[in-house]
Homo-oligomer: A and B are copies of this chain.
């Protein structure tokens, strides 16, 4: 099944969406919001699945699905932790600044806690105060979990994945070095993220969901230019169950927790990149300097994933950068 949240109040109104994203139907009688459904997932999931079947078989009428009227599937969440599971990408970042990568990075996942109180919608503008901050997109895959006990094993963790989404993990690259140098991790350099219009259950992904990874190309476009379409199932050093077990080592994870993959990146450079920072690093290696600029006001970023029939699975994250006037 596919689920979305119509913009409404703070937490949206739960919708069931059909396979080709053309039709949808209200599901707020089953659970008013996606978070409410996740809070009571074992009861709600079969009901939502039945509604999805009815919509598919056209025994329920529904209405036209409009991604532009949707919030992120979880308009706000209690837990958003983003990993950096494509370690070749991390190695590249380090190499670009002549820093060696510790060998443990291949065995011990990198993960940071992100801001989850104000996600922006999939087609909402990205508000930017200052272009000199180095605004970048990061195209990623993310999983949504039911309740996960503290100390969960990798094997058990796999059973707690209930939905998948795409993410634009928006980053302010020029704020990162000074912030990380302070030692407490990202905060100001990672403003609100945006998620795909639709969250999708594992059965919708067929054979593409295998070994805790999603084996399909993730497409990132800037204005009319394809920036990359690396396969999210390739070169992912840590699969999602491993990331979940890492996250739950010292605490339980509440239903509705979102775990991100980090920027998707393939060793095969012909596949392009899922963020501008990687494009710039490759330019530095090739030409000694980066020529691609970070995002400017007016730029448009699109992130999506197509199935074998060239059908968008999650809908498009489609965002334009706009200038924000600082409140005083």
Which residues A140-185 have CB closer than 8 A to chain B?
A: 149-153, 156, 172, 175, 180-185
- Are A112 and B184 touching (Cβ within 8 A)? yes
Q: At the interface, yes or no: A118 with Cβ under 8 Å from chain B?
A: yes
Find chain B residues with CB under 8 A from A133 CB.
250
Which of A208-216, A285-293, A320-328 forms part of the interface with chain B? A320-328
Question: In A232-255, which residues have CB < 8 Å from any B CB?
Answer: 246-247, 249-254
**A26 interface contact, C-beta 8 A:** no
Cβ-based interface call for A44 (8 A): no
Known contacts being A251-B192, A327-B150, is A182 close to B110, with CB within 8 Å? yes
Contacts of A3 in B (CB 8 A): none
Whether A12 is near chain B, meaning CB under 8 Å from some CB there, is no
Cβ of A326 and Cβ of B191 under 8 Å apart? no
**Residues in chain B near residue A183, CB distance under 8 A:** 110, 180, 185
**Identity of the chain B residue whose Cβ is nearest the Cβ of A105 in the assembled complex:** B182
Known: A129-B151, A156-B328. A187 touches B247 (CB 8 A): yes
A178 to chain B, nearest CB (A): 8
Q: Which bracket fits the contact residues of A?
A: 35 or more
> In whole angstroms, what is the CA distance A327 to B245 when docked?
11
Partner pick for A78 among B76, B112, B180, B328, CB 8 A cutoff: B76
Q: Is the CB of B191 within 8 A of A251?
A: yes
A81 in contact with B153 (CB, 8 Å): no
User: Does A115 have its Cβ within 8 Å of any Cβ on chain B?
Assistant: yes
Contact A185 B76 (CB under 8 A): no
A116 proximal to B (CB < 8 A):
yes
Closest chain-B Cβ to A326's Cβ sits at a distance in Å of: 4
How far is B250's CA from A127's CA once the two chains are assembled, in angstroms?
Answer: 9
Instruction: Give 10 closest A-B pairs by Cβ, nearest first.
Output: A185-B185, A117-B254, A78-B117, A79-B117, A151-B326, A191-B251, A191-B250, A112-B184, A113-B113, A149-B327
Q: Can you name 9 A-B residue pairings with CB atoms under 8 Å? A: A77-B78, A79-B115, A84-B184, A112-B184, A118-B251, A151-B326, A188-B249, A191-B250, A191-B251
Apart from A111-B184, A113-B187, A180-B184, what 6 extra A-B contacts exist at CB < 8 Å? Answer: A78-B78, A78-B117, A84-B184, A113-B115, A118-B252, A189-B250
